[in-house]
A and B are shown apart, each in its own frame.
Chain A
């Protein structure tokens, strides 16, 4: 089931003073499946936060429409099933950690014993139990993020929006947040994640979308997006590929990367098998053969550069 769907979603910010307008989102069509972790990537100003804000009716679209949990955005009651951790969130500084959760829990419709139980459970989960009675003005950035995550989960949401959840969190804290997200996924929660930390996104997301200047450049499973076609790294012993593969030159691209390691790009599996047969025939031992992938970061950077060139 699709839990988020957008149809030609467009947001234009107009400035009367400057007589100019900024296209934060341009005819965005996107869908997110239930029970998945979806990562939205993009450089600063790409429109990632605007998209979340529109989906939560914090900002309104200029045109287009969207559905969330199969409901129109205008139905604010659907937010009882949604959790949100905004970027640079602020809590009233006079409240204590537990009171912040109490306030947002009450606004989410939870009261009484179940709220108290949930508060203790979540503070335990984000390791802030000892800080329950400390005022949030004394919290560090990392602690604020962890409290923010607890706040986003106070209503046991089906869909969770996280905007830069690991911002300001140390590596151990990040790992803990990743584990929490994976645990939520195992409980069939859907997570929509905005992050700059591509290596982290790569570790936990099922699908990613890449946004630049309000346009969705690419969307798909992380595995699909990071595969480099039929490219292999082959480590050999007892000979060189340089001489014996000349006859394949038109169909196979081989690059010697040193230390008997070769990068091999083939156009089809037949060519690859022919190459392997040839190596064996020439007494060359194949020590290792690995299908090549590019990191999400590499793919992201090249995609954004391509897009910038296209726009220029």
Chain B
């Protein structure tokens, strides 16, 4: 066993840290968040040019063939920078679904463009009333001459408005929560019958509600086998959940460091807040929460290529714990900043909000605790 970074890992980590420091300070980030698009296409192109969009793809797929640890490093750095660009929906969900479920033709047509920064993707999967059940798909796919007709609704689809293609899950057979019968379709965003209702999210990202009313797609829109997409969906969302756990680790670290700095500088009663023992212990508890989160995010990352049961356990362990640890670290960061903590002006609140919403990404702490328990 060796849990240390390779030289490549260190270089990657440093180059992203440099980018955040030089090109993505908090003011820049706030400006981008307030823009219509909600991310910066120039920054996205920079990611492409630096090769970061290629990291999760094998050389066959036109990528760099980097390991999951590289994704972990990237996401942790993105967490620290509170990066808005749609890496998760476009690359880790959309791109990986095409890579895992798509045929050779689809892969070569779309992945190259994606990695070059030319197209954006989104994954329309969750539905109103589905909560976090991954197999909950009520959206229907009716096969017909030369293609499929899709009808249904999708909830809180990140990056949908900017996406050139939305990968939509739909059911051609089976009960609403059955694993069998789910298919994936690559739907151009401007397809007649597809309504995208976009909005900002509380953590400064962009998402949308989708309504599909008799959306017609050709046979070539089907990704993988009809009715057999569940395994791919679970594998890809597990990878994305592990990545988002690493993002959370970056967010938590930054909150912890910012809070520690505040405890050292903010004076009340003639001394720094950090001189009060009760606050020292709170800071230590934050550190413990961050360390445990980092440990489990690493474990999840290193388990992604293990058996399905091992992968599920590891990913759910990490997501469950990070949901709770993130809540604690976020709340404490706000509390220890006093009134400053609840202002829009300070970074702290923005990191706190992102951390809070990470818990809702493909299953909250309660959901993953349950999934962990069910995969003993």
Task: Decide whether A and B assemble into one complex.
Answer: no
